[in-house]
Amino acid sequence: METTRTALITGASAGMGLAAAELFARRGWHVYAGARRVERMTELAALGVRVLTLDVTNSESNQAFVNTALTEQGRIDVLINNAGYGEYGPVEDIAMDRVRAQFAVNFFGAVELTKLVLPTMRGQASGRVVHISSIGGDLYTPLGAFYHATKAALQQFSDTLDAEVRRFGVRSVVVQPGGTQSEWAQVALATAKRNTALDSVYRPLVEAVDRLLSGRTASATSADLAKVFYRAAVAERPKRRYLNSVGDRLVVWTARALPNLYRSGMHQGIKRLAK
Ligand SMILES: NC(=O)c1ccc[n+]([C@@H]2O[C@H](COP(=O)([O-])OP(=O)(O)OC[C@H]3O[C@@H](n4cnc5c(N)ncnc54)[C@H](OP(=O)(O)O)[C@@H]3O)[C@@H](O)[C@H]2O)c1
Give the range among 17-21, 166-170, 204-208 with minimum mean pLDDT.
204-208
For residue 167, how far is its CA from the centre of ligand 1 (angstroms)?
Answer: 31
The answer to whether 50 touches 123, Cβ cutoff 8 Å, is no
Mutation test of ligand 1: which of 8, 56, 82 has the most ligand atoms closer than 8 Å to its C-beta? Answer: 82
Pocket flag, ligand 1, residue 144 (CB < 6 Å): no
The pTM assigned to this predicted structure is 0.97
Pocket flag, ligand 1, residue 110 (CB < 6 Å): no
Q: What is the DSSP letter of 3?
A: P
Mutation test of ligand 1: which of 16, 222, 251 has the most ligand atoms closer than 8 Å to its C-beta? Answer: 16
For residue 189, how far is its CA from the centre of ligand 1 (angstroms)?
Answer: 14
Q: What does the alpha-carbon distance between residue 33 and residue 11 come to, in Å, rounded to a whole number?
A: 8
Q: How many percent of the chain have pLDDT more than 70? A: 99
The answer to whether 249 touches 133, Cβ cutoff 8 Å, is no
Q: What is residue 271's predicted lDDT score, i.e. its pLDDT? A: 85
State which H helix or E strand residue 205 sits in: helix 203-214
The predicted-structure confidence for 221-234, as pLDDT tens digits, reads as follows 999 999 999 999 99
- Amino acid in position 214: S
For residue 246, how far is its CA from the centre of ligand 1 (angstroms)?
Answer: 23
For residue 129, how far is its CA from the centre of ligand 1 (angstroms)?
Answer: 17
Sign (positive or negative) of CA dihedral 47, 51, 57, 61: negative
Q: What does the alpha-carbon distance between residue 96 and residue 198 come to, in Å, rounded to a whole number?
A: 19
CATH code: domain 6-274 is: 3.40.50.720
Q: Where in the sequence numbering do the catalytic residues fall? A: 13, 133, 147, 151
| 1 pLDDT tier (thresholds 50, 70, 90) | low
Q: Where are the domains of the chain?
A: 6-274
Name the H helices within 2-133. Answer: 15-26, 42-46, 59-73, 96-103, 109-124
Pocket flag, ligand 1, residue 102 (CB < 6 Å): no
Strands 170-176 and 30-35: unpaired
Distance of CA 187 to the CA centre of its chain: 14
How far is CA 102 from each of CA 1, 27, 80, 155, 212, rounded to the nearest angstrom?
44, 33, 18, 16, 24
Closest Cα to atom 44, ligand 1: which residue?
84
Q: What is the DSSP letter of 52?
A: E
User: Which atom of ligand 1 lies at the shortest distance from residue 36's CA?
Assistant: 41
Q: What is the DSSP letter of 245?
A: -
Closest by Cα among 208, 192, 218 to 269: 208
Instruction: Please provide the average confidence, as pLDDT, over all residues in the chain.
Output: 96
The predicted-structure confidence for 51-101, as pLDDT tens digits, reads as follows 999 999 999 999 999 999 999 999 999 999 999 999 999 999 999 999 999
Q: What is residue 214's predicted lDDT score, i.e. its pLDDT? A: 83
Q: What is residue 272's predicted lDDT score, i.e. its pLDDT? A: 85
Pocket flag, ligand 1, residue 105 (CB < 6 Å): yes
Q: What is the mean pLDDT of residues 245-259?
A: 97
- DSSP helix/strand/coil, 56: coil
Q: What does the alpha-carbon distance between residue 121 and residue 178 come to, in Å, rounded to a whole number?
A: 29
Backbone angles phi, psi at 104, to 5 degrees: -60, -45
| 273 pLDDT tier (thresholds 50, 70, 90) | confident
For residue 15, how far is its CA from the centre of ligand 1 (angstroms)?
Answer: 7
What length does the chain have? 275
- DSSP helix/strand/coil, 6: strand
| 113 pLDDT tier (thresholds 50, 70, 90) | very high
Pocket flag, ligand 1, residue 180 (CB < 6 Å): yes
